[in-house]
Structure 1
């Protein structure tokens, strides 16, 4: 089949999938204004004809065919570096397709328990690669009462579960929340939300199903309105993407698409593997975002004539420290990569979780510094229509004057970007995503405990304390 064109990707979305938004059923999302920007964003990953991007987003497979690089199985540090560059040049729709890396990472332990499931993963991966498909990471359950386990809920469907096994496959029921780009992918790759125990074996389920499968319904929401102008919303106007509340209403999953069906011992491995790759992608974005915050803080300080004042320099220095710690953490995770028994290379687990924790734990404090430097105009800057107005535009050019070399339109654009990414709808989305994407802070703490060499740390402490050990 080979690589798709942008037009072929858009056409592939006209497949009868069931999408809803604010109660409205959308029979063709490609014709709906709410999806105009999201589809433009997703289509950019099919920009293979662009000579400046082709080598970044495409690679040659072991069979000699061209495929999107999101499907390249890392075998070396160089491969990981190329993946980091890809993540910096890819939409979130392409990014979540990295779920196949998470699947391939669990193939080795899965093969020991059920070779057929391992074969299903490898076959599904090659099928999606061959047809240039996109897939979503479908992991977070509704969860209900968090003090109870999956099988203890008032409603047994509050975690997605197997309700029937038959000769054709498994039938599943439940819902998955916060699924980025669910409406715009071809495959929904479902995994357990956490490690399950034996009593929860019907909830230990993983599979891939086409987005238009019977019984799948996607309820969408986005931080952005359908039509936003680029001047007032420099980020949101180009980057809006719906989050999906995905309902599985007795969906039949054929056996050849099943990756886990009751083998509860491996449920945690699936969840942990996805967390690693999702946090890696989030960390790449965090590095870029942090560098942008440094630039905005410096620009807004200079435009106000306080670029050399100690308080401004101190604030910018804090942001630089934050940005550089994230960058170094990401680089360390790649240079100190780890490898599965079958030779798949992945970022260092401890490094990714530490860096992602630093990003999430300090993000809001960094936004506070940016807001403190920028001031109230972050929220009250007039809009582009006012600037272009013959009646009030001259007032803006007069009263927004600051330093002699600060262009008024540039100043407005800088403030608009600060507001858009940190204090408007997109900013609110970022505030939550910084904490929750890839699992909240407790998830990173758990992984730090699991991956840190605690025995070596204990031994070092005892030695320095003068305690002799065997």
Structure 2
């Protein structure tokens, strides 16, 4: 078992992977300026030698070996609560490794169709766990013309597909989009984007391969420039993470790394498994951000001398309701957990997670308007730190941003900068889309709610209430 230090993690990424950013092919991401912020962010989840942090960050398996808690398979309610707490304190570069939880949650279903694939899932999971590796959730295909099935596209590669079956493995071609931290992980864990029909058997494919596998290329995009001033961008300067456009150009995958290769009945099972944990992660992040929004709304109102205003109190209550509804939904999902059989793996309540994620996404944009309304136009027009530090312009900023003696001008600017960064600029723009699309858009949650709600029980109650025997 190899528990990596932050520096060992960074060095492990200098492995010949093919990565592009801003039109440049980057041969060594570990030293390139463009990757320094996301590298530092992800590295912070590794073993930094702090006993207090490590006691929570790591767990012991059945053999007494220590691993990062991202790999702990919950088998009790306490394990599930610990996992959610860990997610609150872990960066996105590590959280995407939760894809192995999705695989392990459907291992039993896979075994019923092909025991070899189930064995591969467990082997790759243990390989990543024992070597302290990170994996990316690689699921969304380009999809082309959405009115047509995967096998009906003008270009057959618009969904990742098997182009050759060999005695020693398969060869795949295609691309996957919106892959968070793809260049920062060790394993690309590919899942079907949706269910497939018999005629789409070549598109029912799942596997895990190292990022530096020949034929793999990653084209990166981020919401933030490489370097940002911490005063002006208090969130984005520390939390940027690239999204990868991952290309598979005739990539060979050995059979011992394949989880699905044409068994269409498993495609939707694998696709849905990832959605549950990804949506749970979205709830965790939203609860964390929601508390920040409330605190910022209160601070900006106090600094303006409006905190007792009835309109302000009303807006604050809207922010509180939104945050608390999501928090209670997450708590309910953990309290009313489900258990897979026969493995005994515990996971959040599927209906509760999907209903809460739907509420989160459907109400996020209109909820943020209360924060923007309280803060006013300074959210996007407050001067930059350089102008504050300039002796000539700074005196005007300090004069005209004054509200009262107990309000520090610089503190007021920092509050506005964080509101802007979180909700109206770099990180905020990314989160505006992620809140809606992470784990699938609103239709995905509607589908899962319809599938998991006990409709027969509801109908029986309605019949009884109506006096129908």
- How high is the TM-score relative to the length of structure 1? 0.99
Q: 1:427 deviation in Å?
A: 1.3
* Residues 231 and 413 in structure 1, CA contact (< 8 A), matched pair in contact too: yes
Task: Provide the secondary structure at the position in 2 that maps to 1:209.
Answer: strand
Question: How many angstroms apart in 1 are the aligned matches of 2:133 and 2:48?
Answer: 14
CA drift at 1:35 = 0.2
User: Which residues in structure 2 correspond to 1:135-174 (within 5 Å)?
Assistant: 135-174=135-174
Equivalent residue for 2:95?
A: 95
Q: Is the 8 A contact 1:48 1:57 kept in 2?
A: no
State whether residues 117 and 259 of structure 1, in contact with CA within 8 Å, keep that contact through their aligned partners in structure 2: yes
Q: Is the partner of 2:244 in helix, strand or coil?
A: strand
Supply the distance in 1 between the matched residues of 2:468 and 2:206 (Cα, whole angstroms): 48
CA contact (8 A) 1:48 1:58 kept: no
The residue aligned with 2:11 is 11
SS of the residue 1:442 aligns to: helix
Q: Does the aligned pair in 2 maintain the 1:222–1:242 contact within 8 Å? A: yes
How many angstroms apart in 1 are the aligned matches of 2:198 and 2:403?
A: 67
Distance 1:287 1:278 in 2: 15
Q: For residues 370-416 of structure 1, what are the alpha-carbon distances to aligned partners after superposition, in whole Å with 9 as ceiling and x for unaligned?
A: 11110000000001111112112122111111133211111100000
SS in 2 for 1:229: coil
Instruction: State the 1:20 CA deviation.
Output: 0.4
**Corresponding residue number in structure 2 for 1:420:** 421
Pair 1:84 & 2:84 matched: yes
Q: Which residue does 1:208 correspond to in 2?
A: 208
Counterparts of residues 437-448 of structure 1 (less than 5 Å):
437-448=438-449
Offset of residue 2 of structure 1: 1.9
CA distance in 2, matches of 1:403, 1:367: 27
1:463 equivalent to 2:464? Answer yes
**1:99-143: per-residue Cα shift (whole Å, max 9, x none)?**
000000111111111000000000111111010000000000000
Q: 1:403 to 1:465 in 2, by over 3 A?
A: farther
Indicate conservation of the 8 Å contact 1:175/1:246, yes or no.
yes
Preserved CA contact (<8 Å) 2:97 2:136: yes
SS for the counterpart of 1:395 is helix
Structure 2 residue ranges without an equivalent (≥5): none
Match of 1:189 in 2: 189
Distance 2:57 2:184 in 1: 19
> In the TM superposition, what are the counterparts of 1:272-287 in structure 2 within 5 Å?
272-287=272-287
**RMSD, aligned α-carbons:** 0.8
**Counterpart Cα distance in 2 of 1:262 and 1:57:** 38
| Structure 2 counterpart of 1:435 | 436
1:381-392 to structure 2, matched below 5 A, reads 381-392=382-393
After superposition, residues 38-437 of structure 1 pair within 5 angstroms as: 38-341=38-341, 342-437=343-438
**Alpha-carbon deviation of 1:48?**
4.1
Question: 2: CA distance between counterparts of 1:160 and 1:328?
Answer: 38
SS in 2 for 1:252: strand
- Take 1:45 and 1:424, find their aligned partners in 2: how far apart are those partners? 26
CA distance in 1 between partners of 2:55 and 2:327 (Å): 24
Please tell me whether the aligned partners of residues 284 and 330 of structure 1 are also in contact (alpha carbons under 8 angstroms).
Answer: yes
Note the C-alpha offset of 1:25: 0.3
Give how far 1:354 is off. 0.7
In 2, Cα distance between equivalents of 1:56 and 1:95: 15
Quote the Cα distance in structure 2 between the aligned partners of 1:345 and 1:11.
35
Gaps of 5+ in 1: none
Residues 130-168 of structure 1, C-alpha deviations (whole Å, 9 max, x = no match): 100000000000000000000000000000000000011
In structure 2, what is the Cα distance between the partners aligned to 1:313 and 1:404?
23
Aligned-partner Cα distance in 1 for 2:409–2:464: 63
Q: Which moved more, 1:427-436 or 1:42-51?
A: 42-51
1:48-70 deviation per Cα after TM superposition (whole angstroms, max 9, x unaligned): 41223112211111121111100
Q: Secondary structure at the match of 2:44?
A: helix
- Does structure 2 retain, via aligned residues, the 8 Å contact 1:215–1:249? yes
The CA distance in 1 between the partners of 2:52 and 2:432, in whole Å, is: 33
Aligned residues: 468
- TM-score normalised by the chain length of structure 2: 0.99
**8 Å CA contact 1:45, 1:91 repeated in 2:** yes
SS state at 1:127 partner: helix
Equivalent-residue separation in structure 1 for 2:302 and 2:144 (angstroms):
50
